[in-house]
Amino acid sequence: MLSTIQLPHTASLPPEEIEQLLNTSIIRGITEQEALGRLRQFGPNVTGSKKRATELAELLSHFKNPLVLILLAAAGISAGMGETVNAVIIFVIILLSISLDYMQERGARNAAATLGKTLGSKITVTRGGESYDIATSQLCPGDLISLRAGNIIPADVRLIAAHDLFVNQSSLTGESFPVEKNAATIPVTANNDTFLENMCYMGSGVISGTGKAIVLYTGRKTMIGTIADELNSGQEETDFGRGMRQFGLLITRVTLILVVFIFVVNAISHHSIFQSFLFAVAIAVGLTPELLPMVMSVAMSRGAMRMAREGAIVKRIAAIPNFGSMDVLCTDKTGTLTTNQISLVKCVNATGEVSADVFKLAYLNSSLQTGTINPLDQAVMAAGTPDIASFEKTDEIPFDFNRKRMSVVVKHSDTFTMICKGAPEEILKVCNVDTDTTKQIQLLYEQLSQDGLRVLAIASKSLQSGKNLLESDECDLSFAGLAVFFDPPRDDAATMIAELEKIGVDVKIITGDHYLVTEKICREIGLPVKGILQGFEMDQMTDVVLQEKVRNISIFTRFSPDQKNRVIHALKTHHRAVGYLGDGINDAPSLKAADIGISVAGASDVAKDAADIILTDKQLSILYDGIIAGRETFANTMKYILMGLSSNFGNMFSVAVAAVFLPFLPMLPVQILLNNFLYDTAQITIPADNNDADMLYHPQQWNMAVIRNFMLIFGLLSSVFDLIIFFLLYHAFPVSQAQFRTGWFMESLATQILVVFIIRTRKLPFVQSKPAMPLVISTLLCLTVGWILPYLPFAALMGFKPLPSHIMLYICAIVIVYLICAEITKRLLYSYHSKKQAAAV
């Protein structure tokens, strides 16, 4: 077993010394038994993740809440002053609340972990002379791995073999252009001790070529691990996250103002400092929506599990609410609008005649290149098998997204030939073709594109040597012809485009294809063609002009990865959330730039790593279900916020008024905590509630004006009925202090629990909008428990005393009238905001 992970510069060492240093073999690798020992020594190959806390530690972490700590201190002081019953009740309520929160979060945490197990990238490793795929998290120092196009480098490694290996190190260097790597030994000096040519670093992506490497560092010992896992840090604040932050500030301000007021008035006017302190703290707990994290966790976990059943794996469940906010989706057309079952229709020369020679050149290029095998290459190789046994590949110039072409060099009968394949306009730039022939080729290209056919150009030239060629050698080529492909539209594309449009999602196509091909497909499937922008046209625009232009563009063609990023950032200035669907190496930057990055199971590791959500199939129907799940999560979260904030604010306002006029506390601290516990317990089923269709058919977003108005108007409405109860119990029906508190406890619990059925929908409750049965059961059950408490044998311990039946009838009538007034108020409030929003538009 290795005694240390601190290695000298292996870049300057020959392979034989690396073998001895790491106790491995550059042919057979380490054994499986040795790998297990090293995994125990160095830990799993993961970055930026802490060791998972024990369940006990997770439970205890819930006691870190400042309000919980204050309540525990209050319980301790109560016990020290001889108020043992109050201390026990406070502690039991705290323990029950924390246990409830812990159990729900544990379920959400386990659900997320279950989903996460399906997402790990794999790499080919050689152990004991046998090669097979393993999860990258199981790599350890000394492992021998194989690299190919599309892989993410899984650790910091030293190359021992490389062939046309190009790597994108932008996650570390910020440089977007691929860097060529080789296995040569390099003398290391102070000026070149990072990003060496024979070293590859965790998080980089293999663009093209192949290689073999020995793992040097894993996990947090890697370069990217030492800089806090850059690929997963620094996420921009989303619309949902911004709303949560603003909501937290609103709660904090309101709580501080009212709690301080209530404490000062009670302490000065009527009561002891300690009782006033307990009462103010209990009121603060009552206003704070402490179950909001749990409600969100459960709602997002349910959304993630639902999406998993539909075929979408959520890597980061916090992305689900952002999914609900998405109102524009950018995607390539291949595999989304089309079947991705690309077939080679024909290969033609410059005059449009079918040519076997052009096909042979195309086949040599596609079959011998070592970059990512794309569907076009697969279509060429599936179209036939020409005799190429006498051809030997000697060199390659990999594809990149600026040149939009790639070349291979082959040797045949002692002659060397470069075969170049790529976008017709880019191939023509490096061909030696006269003007008339160029026009003829361009006309043929446009005619094929207008028929919805994709086209690649093929060119070649003879060489004196077949090694060490550069991009600059792609010049003075002879134009050979065109390879023509067809990718039919999906049968369900038109339907899904229409469905997405119904729920307010605008689909925009960003592709590297010709605009005529893209336009043809879009018109066939009914995607509105609002405007077309080509890459070269965008290059001439400033960001300000582009931001205005993108609003009326639905097709973006001939776009490079950097150009896609510009479009996404321009769209984000107008839209709540921008989604991007991509599966190629070139899509990774766009997936990171978008608010919601979406990839597919068969995508490159680079794309899957950058995505928030991974689809098992590249279908818009799965996206539709995901968007609806996101909107359901958002809607149910809003229900809890609007209901809890308005009801609790009303209670606090009522207490503030009562503190001025009543000679005693309107409710004991224990009773307030018990009320809050029953209320919160009733709401744990909100994540499972039904949602009205009209709530899901438009993008969701935070509206702090609506939240603030709900809090103020519904809070004041609730206070009006609280004050009516105060008047009846204090003046109309003189009762004891215990009965007064019992009456307000029962009225307060009923109004704030039952109002959920009003606030959860904009329609008429139960008639036009039916709540989910779990919500009905939990609400009625908690209300029943709360109303039975005063009649139980131990009621006096909690300060309760039974009420006469005629007072109970008055309380029931007040609750019913309150719910009717709440329904009317809700309709007036939504009508006001709808008119205000329409006027703003």
Give the distance, in angstroms, between the CA of residue 457 and the centroid of all CA atoms in the same chain: 39
Question: 179 in helix, strand or coil?
Answer: strand
As a whole number of Å, the CA-based R_g of the chain is 34
**What gap in Å lies between CA 204 and CA 588, rounded to an integer?**
11
Ordered DSSP codes for 231-244: GGS-PPPPHHHHHH
- The alpha carbon dihedral of 686, 690, 692, 697 has a sign of positive
Dihedral of the alpha carbons of 39, 40, 46, 47, in degrees to the nearest 10: -120
**What gap in Å lies between CA 357 and CA 359, rounded to an integer?**
5
**What gap in Å lies between CA 428 and CA 511, rounded to an integer?**
20
Task: Specify whether the CB–CB gap between 517 and 345 falls below 8 A.
Answer: no
**What gap in Å lies between CA 567 and CA 152, rounded to an integer?**
26
Q: Is 143 a catalytic residue?
A: no
Q: b/e for 252-282, b at 16 or more Cβ within 10 A?
A: eebbeebbebbbebbbeeebeeebbbbbbbb
**What gap in Å lies between CA 597 and CA 603, rounded to an integer?**
13
Secondary structure letter of residue 386 according to DSSP: -
- The alpha carbon dihedral of 270, 272, 273, 274 has a sign of negative
Show Cβ contacts of residue 411 under 8 Å, excluding neighbours closer than 6 positions: 391, 392, 393, 394, 466
- The alpha carbon dihedral of 566, 568, 569, 575 has a sign of positive
- For the sheet containing 478-486, what is the strand order? 343-348, 478-486, 454-463, 415-422, 405-412, 392-400
**What gap in Å lies between CA 672 and CA 651, rounded to an integer?**
10
- Smallest CA-to-CA distance from 331 within 526, 505, 582, 590 is with 582
- Smallest CA-to-CA distance from 405 within 433, 425, 378, 385 is with 425
Ordered DSSP codes for 299-361: HHHHHHHHHHHHTEEES-TTHHHHHHH--EEEE-STTTTB-S--EEEEEE-TTS-B-HHHHHH
Task: Specify whether the CB–CB gap between 728 and 810 falls below 8 A.
Answer: yes
CA atoms within 13 A on the CB side of 227: 11
**What gap in Å lies between CA 791 and CA 191, rounded to an integer?**
82
Task: Specify whether the CB–CB gap between 211 and 165 falls below 8 A.
Answer: yes
- Altogether, the residues listed in the chain come to a count of 841
Task: Specify whether the CB–CB gap between 281 and 67 falls below 8 A.
Answer: yes
Task: Specify whether the CB–CB gap between 603 and 315 falls below 8 A.
Answer: no
Exactly one of 332, 400, 506, 513 is catalytic; which is it? 332
Residues with a known catalytic role:
332
